[in-house]
């Protein structure tokens, strides 16, 4: 290990200690995440400026820095399935007798799908307005390797028809799905948890002596999982520090400048979709300004972590305590929103790619193309993974279904993290929008007792 690497790691360890000192001051998580975001960006930029792109010193330094970053991502992946399973099971079991699971699920999913359709149309419009095209994109070593990986994965999704895709959601082996063996494992676990929750409710009704033990079991399981999640969330500023260091230090400025048009267009599309969310909540009597003020910390966390699933706990808490959404609706919308109808990853992104690629294949962007694209995007938005990379999976489904190559998804790898952060924040906002609208449409709000319980 060279002296330069040792110095770099000493600086990185110093940043970790700095964040730790800020954490001891009991700052809010969103503030700590912002500190990690800024520190990682500046540290990565410093490495890039001092040693230059492709330096062996940077490579060796990042090998050690990745212990923190990859370890954090691994912990996030570890908690996703238990969190989804327990959250959905608890939401169904604790559903108020006055509430209807069918109505809540129906309204929530409908809002998620409608907003995904709107997101797709916005993606199409912005891409066409900017005149973006896949022509002229350079294919470097990283992109070539990525193409090979995507082409090896495409077989697992492109051969599925829409009916086959829907059937694949059925959890034929829930234990295997808990290990994430399939691309649709998350939605399969959601279905298994809902069915198990319904069964538990029926058992409680048929055998009243089992109602108390079942509720105790749910409370214990939920408390343990939520405590585990909070433990991992406490590591978020350190994970963000390492992840942003890698993103900035390895970013190719030339690639970013070359693809600047796509970055700008993506952020404009995402911003327009945030405006749509504000307009939708205003229709049910919620001030858009107050709405975004209340969910800002959650969006900050989603932006930094790039994980819709890992944001579920903050999502649920904010809905209950800030937006006064009942726990059942909050849990369902947060969990469904991490797997169904992701406005950014499953809506805007594949729509933009399809419009960029179609002209290069001689396919006109006409009414039939747009309607087909929106329909496929809406249906394929079921089961998109709630961790970074879900947008790529969405592209693997949508592009082949439209008769288009997936190569462009690989060619954009250089700027993927820069856009994925904003897409994830939009996904989470979409889930909270669905919960807010569902709550107001059904005329239900969280009680003071429920708010105090969520804050405990």
| Mean pLDDT split into 10-residue runs, the chain, 456 residues | 87 91 78 82 86 82 88 78 79 65 84 94 92 65 54 52 70 83 72 87 88 88 81 82 80 65 91 96 93 89 79 84 86 81 87 87 85 85 59 74 71 69 92 94 72 55
CA 10 distance to own-chain centroid: 33
Give CA 35 to chain center in angstroms.
Answer: 21
Residue 89: predicted pLDDT = 84
CB 352 within 8 A of CB 123: yes
pLDDT of residue 38: 86
CA–CA distance, 393 with 351 (Å, rounded to integer) = 13
Q: Give pTM, 2 decimals.
A: 0.68
Element counts in the chain: helices (H) and strands (E): 21, 0
Q: What is the pLDDT of residue 443?
A: 85
Q: What per-residue confidence (pLDDT) applies to 116?
A: 93
What is the full DSSP assignment across 208-232?
A: GGGHHHHHHHHHHHHHHHHHHHHHH
Let me know: does 302 contact 308? Beta carbons within 8 Å: yes
Cα separation, 333 vs 319, whole angstroms:
10
Are the beta carbons of 116 and 346 closer than 8 angstroms? yes
Going along the chain from its start, the domains and CATH numbers come out as 3-455 (1.10.3860.10)
pLDDT of residue 141: 47
Q: Would you state the pLDDT for residue 32?
A: 82
- Amino acid 203: pLDDT: 92
pLDDT at residue 182, rounded to an integer: 72
Residues 217 and 219: their CA atoms lie apart, in Å, by 5
Question: Could you identify the residue written with the tokens 């912002």?
Answer: 34
Q: DSSP letter string over 421-442? A: HHHHHHHHHHHHHHHHHHHHHT
Tokens of 73: 């991502």
């Amino acid at each position: 290990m060279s002296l330069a690497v040792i110095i770099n790691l000493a600086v990185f360890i110093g940043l970790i200690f700095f964040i730790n000192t800020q954490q001891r001051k009991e700052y809010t998580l969103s503030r700590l995440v912002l500190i990690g975001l800024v520190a990682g960006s500046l540290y990565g930029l410093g490495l890039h400026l001092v040693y230059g792109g492709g330096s062996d010193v940077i490579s060796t330094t990042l090998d050690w820095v990745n212990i923190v970053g990859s370890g954090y991502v691994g912990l996030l992946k570890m908690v996703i399935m238990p969190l989804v399973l327990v959250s959905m099971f608890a939401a169904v079991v604790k559903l108020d007798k006055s509430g209807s699971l069918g109505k809540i699920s129906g309204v929530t999913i409908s809002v998620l799908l409608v907003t995904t359709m709107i997101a797709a149309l916005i993606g199409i419009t912005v891409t066409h307005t900017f005149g973006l095209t896949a022509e002229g994109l350079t294919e470097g070593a990283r992109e070539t390797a990525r193409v090979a990986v995507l082409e090896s994965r495409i077989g697992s999704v492109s051969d599925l028809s829409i009916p086959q895709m829907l059937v694949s959601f059925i959890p034929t082996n829930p234990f295997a799905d808990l290990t994430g063996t399939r691309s649709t494992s998350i939605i399969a676990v959601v279905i298994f948890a809902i069915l198990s929750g319904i069964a538990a409710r029926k058992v409680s009704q048929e055998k009243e002596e089992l109602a108390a033990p079942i509720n105790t079991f749910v409370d214990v399981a939920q408390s343990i999982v939520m405590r585990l999640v909070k433990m991992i969330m406490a590591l978020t500023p350190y994970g963000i520090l390492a992840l942003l260091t890698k993103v900035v230090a390895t970013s190719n400025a030339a690639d970013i400048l070359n693809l600047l048009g796509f970055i700008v267009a993506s952020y404009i599309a995402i911003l327009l979709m945030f405006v749509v969310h504000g307009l939708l909540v205003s229709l049910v009597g919620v001030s858009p300004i107050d709405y975004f003020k209340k969910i800002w910390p959650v969006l900050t966390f989603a932006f930094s972590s790039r994980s819709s699933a890992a944001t579920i706990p903050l999502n649920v808490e904010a809905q209950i305590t800030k937006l006064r959404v009942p726990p059942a609706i909050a849990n369902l919308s947060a969990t469904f929103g991490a797997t169904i109808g992701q406005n950014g990853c499953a809506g805007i992104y594949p729509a933009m790619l399809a419009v960029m690629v179609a002209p290069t294949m001689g396919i006109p962007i006409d009414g039939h193309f747009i309607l087909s694209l929106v329909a496929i995007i809406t249906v394929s938005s079921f089961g998109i993974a709630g961790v970074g990379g879900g947008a790529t999976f969405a592209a693997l489904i949508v592009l082949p279904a439209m008769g288009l190559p997936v190569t462009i998804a690989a060619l954009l790898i250089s700027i993927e993290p820069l856009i994925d952060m904003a897409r994830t924040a939009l996904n989470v906002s979409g889930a909270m929008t669905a919960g807010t609208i569902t709550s107001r449409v059904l005329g239900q709000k969280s009680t003071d007792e429920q708010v105090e319980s969520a804050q405990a």
